[in-house]
Every structure is written in structure tokens, then in C-alpha cells.
Amino acid sequence: MPGGVTLNPDEVDITFAMGNRVHLPLPFWGSAMDGVVDLEFAIAMGKLGGVAVLNLDGVHTRYEDSAPIIKKIAEADRSTVNAVLKEAYREPVKPKLIVERIKAVKAAGVTCAVSTIPARAEERAEAVQKAGADVYVVQGTVLTARHSSRSYHQLSFEELVKACEIPVVVGNCVHYETALELMETGIAGILVGVGPGAACTTRGVLGVGVPQVTATADVAAARDEHMRRGGMRVAVITDGGMRIGADICKAFASGADAVMIGTPLAGAEESASRGFNWGMATPDPNLPRGTRIQVGTKATLREILVGPARVDDGTQNFAGALRSALGVCGARDIAEFQHTEMVIAPSIVSEGKVFQQAQHVGMGKS
């Protein structure tokens, strides 16, 4: 809801910090999806003030030149794309390429974040740090601090954090108690969201998930309780389900410190696939939980993140939208914006928009 005091959007603070090591001008993270983030994209987004996460289990660390593989996936027809994906991801990850990719990003002078599956987190931790990465993301469909298995070693986040000099971010999570337990292991950040992404099919395949506003509010409440108990502030990063500026602003108002976005960035001219996206679990050989989608090339990365916007539908200038939302709500920074009063209003995007809907312009395009 709008505030009782309004502020100049140019004078609000939307910077992001995670501990003492990570400081970003923009609170935007690029999702670790191969169709979005390659080496060049990670550098481009870093230079604009955000950070793009490179998937260590993706094609960019399996192939010396991943461009032909990305092109093959993008050009596959719907009837064969799953088979093409599975074949592409059969090539093993090469530790040498992991090191080379990290060093290349750091050589460009930007923040480097990398993502790994939990099963490889311990073995890769040392090499990732020595190569110069700034953030180590451990990501699965759902992660908890108390996983049980008789057939394989269980990753201890507490031990991993102790072994890492760089911040460890884990996810994904949507539950208050689960988030609180993960925070108590010493992690620096937590990813929020199960199944909301445009290319994700987890909610259809597994029937598991929580709406993003509810999930973000619950995990943010866990963060606040963790701090009340004397713990450090853990960055809450809402991951997925955001398409336009309004979605991003609602995530921050719900308690997020940053947002991780994938499909909106897939439409950038600089994206790895130039207009396609597929989820991290799409190539799973046994139970794919994602699909390839086409979004088309719509704008430059700069236009999407910081503008100026050339369209009126909220798909460009996310930073400008966030700044304006803070200004309208009277919040000087993101921490204040997290205390903004919210109302449940399903029809708010369509109220009074009869002509836009009829003419398919502005907010009536979707």
C-alpha cells in the first residue's frame, strides 16, 4: 500500500549486501539456468551491478565451447527437445572448466557466484574458492538441514560453511521452521521458492509448492527470528515466479533482500540462448521437472535491469520500478520497504483496465 510520506525515487537505496564480502548496487541475481547465464552474460550482468549465477552442473562446464549445444537445444522441436537435453547433459562436468569459468568472470572485475548440486558441494568447495568465486550456491528442488539417506553421504551445511571462507547460499526452501534450521547452520543466504518458475514443472510433476508471497514472508519471518536469537542477518532471496516489475516489488515488500530471476533475463539480447529457457531439473534422466520455453529476444540486459524502458508492460527497468515503489511507499531502503503494509487483492491488476484488456496493450497484454 502507498505510504503516508512519499520519497524521491532517485534518493532511495536499493543496494544489496550479504555479510562483509558481497555488496551489489542492484539486488538482482540471475538464475543459474544454462539458457540464460553463460560466461559472457555473467560478466555483463556483473558490470550492470547485479550478479548472475553460473551453473557448475550445466553445459558451460561440460563443453569447452557450449554455444553449439545451446543452439541445438534452442532449435530442437517440441517432440525431440527432451531427448536433445538428456543427450547434451550426458557429457561429464570437467573440473578444469569450472576453474577456468570462475577465473574468467573474476578477470572481468565483477562478482562471481556459482551453483552446485548438493551431492557435489563438498568436493568442489576448495577448487571453487581457490579459483576466486565470491559466492557458493548449493541448490536443489528442496533442501533441509536434516536430510536422511541410507545409500549416500548426507551433506552437512554446518561443516560446509566452516570449510568455506566465502558466503554459502542454499535453497530452495518455503517453510518457516525449515528456513530457521538452515539459518542456524551458518549460511549467508537462502533461496525461496519451489516450482514457481516459468520453465519449472515441479508443481505439476510432484504437486509440491507454496505461492511466492507466502513463502517469502515465512522465510523472512524466520530470518527475523534468527536475528532476534542473536544470529547474523541471512539474506532472503526470492527465486522464480517473477515476470514484471510489480512481481519483483511484491517480493521485496514480502520480505526479500534480493530476487533471483531467470525467464525475464532469457529475453535479453545477451542471454546464452537468445530467447529460450529451461529449468535446472529439465534434463533429469529419470524424472524431468522442467520444460524448455521460448520467450523471444525482447530487449538488452541494460534495458531490462536499469532501463530506460521502451515498453509499458513492466518487463523493463526493474530497478526503476523498485525505486519508484519504495518512493511511493515512503521507504528509504529495502529494509524499510519490507515493513510496507500489504493487502490481498487478486483483481488489482485488472481493476479499471477494460480498454487495455480489450485492446491488448499495457497491462492487458497477458
Catalytic positions, please? 200, 289
Q: Are 194 and 208 in contact (CB under 8 A)?
A: yes
Q: Print burial letters for 201-221: b (CB count within 10 Å at least 16), e (below 16).
A: bbeebeeebbebbebbbbbbe
CA proximity to 307, closest of 99, 134, 102, 49: 49
Distance, CA of 295 to CA of 233 (rounded, Å): 36
Q: Residues near 14 by Cβ (< 8 Å), separated by ≥ 6?
A: 26, 27, 319, 322, 323, 326, 333, 334
CB atoms within 10 A of CB 366: 11
Sign of CA dihedral 297, 357, 325, 27: negative
Give the span between the Cα atoms of 49 and 214, in whole angstroms: 28
3-state secondary structure 200-249: ECHHHHCCCCCCHHHHHHHHHHHHHHHHHCCCCCCEEEEECCCCCHHHHH
Instruction: Give CA–CA dist 291/329, Å, rounded.
Output: 37
| All three cell numbers of 84 | 536433445
Angle CA(31)–CA(34)–CA(37) in degrees, nearest 5?
A: 55
Q: Grid coordinates in use for 346?
A: 487478486
C-alpha distances out from residue 112 to 14, 32, 154, 266, 278, Å: 20, 12, 27, 19, 22
Which residues 6+ apart lie within 8 Å of 43 measured at CB?
Answer: 104, 105, 108, 110
d(CA 22, CA 20) in angstroms, rounded, equals 6
Q: Which three cell numbers stand for residue 157?
A: 551445511
Backbone Cα Rg of the chain: 20
Q: Which residues are CB-neighbours of 41 under 8 A, at least 6 positions away? A: 30, 52, 265, 268, 270, 271, 272, 301
